[in-house]
Structure 1
Amino acid sequence: MLSDKLLDALNEQMKNEFFSAYLYMAIAGYFEAEDLPGIASWMRVQTLEEMTHGEKFFNFITEAGGRTDFRAFDAPKNLFDSPLEAFRFSLEHEKFVTASINKLMDLAKEEGNHAAQIFLQWFVTEQVEEEASFALIIRKLERIGNDGNGLLRLDEELSARTFVPPTAAK
């Protein structure tokens, strides 16, 4: 059973997850326009991950007897001055998501909702991975600087990423 407060917070996080997908698709569009199809592909995979995260919230809410509440969100940022700016912006967004997941976990603990805590633990761990992957790319872009060849090599490297849906245990 979900309290009204916890249900509202879960629906808000579902919105955040779907917004993340929308944001990363917009950023993929930026990279496509910059002729960096490998990085665009990496962002498309990120989009699919975020859609899956939103679906996980949808499923948890409905399985826990709650009602989903789809909420509007603002248009995402579409233009960036550089690939480095796009990834820094993305990392800041992931930090926002991490903070909102942590607040949600705190609420689930405060209410003693063990099922919600177990559900949210996956996201707590996932956010460590999310922030680390963006931070690594940022460090690579910082090393690359204005080296066009380095950027093209990173584009090729990031093109290898594929979408792997999370398992039931994950």
Structure 2
Amino acid sequence: MDTNRLSPELEKALSDQMNKEIHASHTFLSYGIWADDKGYGGIANFLYRHAQEERNHSIKFMEYVLNRGGKPKVDAIPAPPNDPNSLTECFDSVFRHEVDNTTSIYRIVDLSLEQKDWATWNFMQWFVKEQIEEETLAQNLIDKLKIAGGDRASGESLFSLDKTLESAPDDVKMAQDATGDNP
């Protein structure tokens, strides 16, 4: 008996998003390595934690597809982009990535609405809320760097920014422990 409650189109879209989240994890890991190599330990730690959060998101998609009777497909993950040339480029790339991810999330929401797959629509609301937080976080990185002086920031300002991000709370939870109220 076929127990899959996802349309082939939605199953593929959810699998594609799972892979997109894995790619994001690799991208942020790569940026973290770049920051670490440049001596920005706090920024690197922040990016490493963000990489783990993106991986957790991919696991949420995987578990959802499996729970709905589908089988997620793991695709080859493209290499992360080249190292950024500056903190501005790094933070701008993080922001652009989050906006692109939001667009992808919205496509799945639209598809689930179109197909009247209310379980998937409801599942995706967690990600809609999460993307608001992710975009805000990325925008705050850009704003903090601008306040520090951007690419012309003094060593002291960059040191302060690095320490601020190093002491940011580590609120990355395991994917299976996340809820709508506690993403």
Q: Which residue of 1 aligns with 2:121?
A: 117
Q: Which moved more, 1:118-127 or 1:69-78?
A: 69-78
* 2:179 is the alignment partner of 1:151: no
- Runs of 4+ with >4 A deviation: none
Matched to 1:156, the amino acid is K
Report the identity percentage. 32
Preserved CA contact (<8 Å) 1:9 1:104: yes
TM, length-normalised to structure 1: 0.96
Distance 2:8 2:71 in 1: 10
Q: Which residue of 1 aligns with 2:69?
A: 65
Aligned pair count?
A: 170
Gaps of 5+ in 2: none
Q: Which residue of 2 aligns with 1:10?
A: 14
Q: Which residue of 1 aligns with 2:90?
A: 86
Equivalent residue runs for 1:1-170 within 5 Å: 1-145=5-149, 146=152, 147-161=154-168, 162-165=170-173, 167-170=177-180
Distance 2:11 2:61 in 1: 11
Preserved CA contact (<8 Å) 1:31 1:40: yes
CA deviation after TM superposition for structure 1 residue 137, in Å: 1.1
CA separation of 1:168/1:75 partners in 2, compared to 1, >3 Å: closer, same or farther? closer
Distance 1:106 1:95 in 2: 17
Gaps of 5+ in 1: none
Preserved CA contact (<8 Å) 2:22 2:77: no
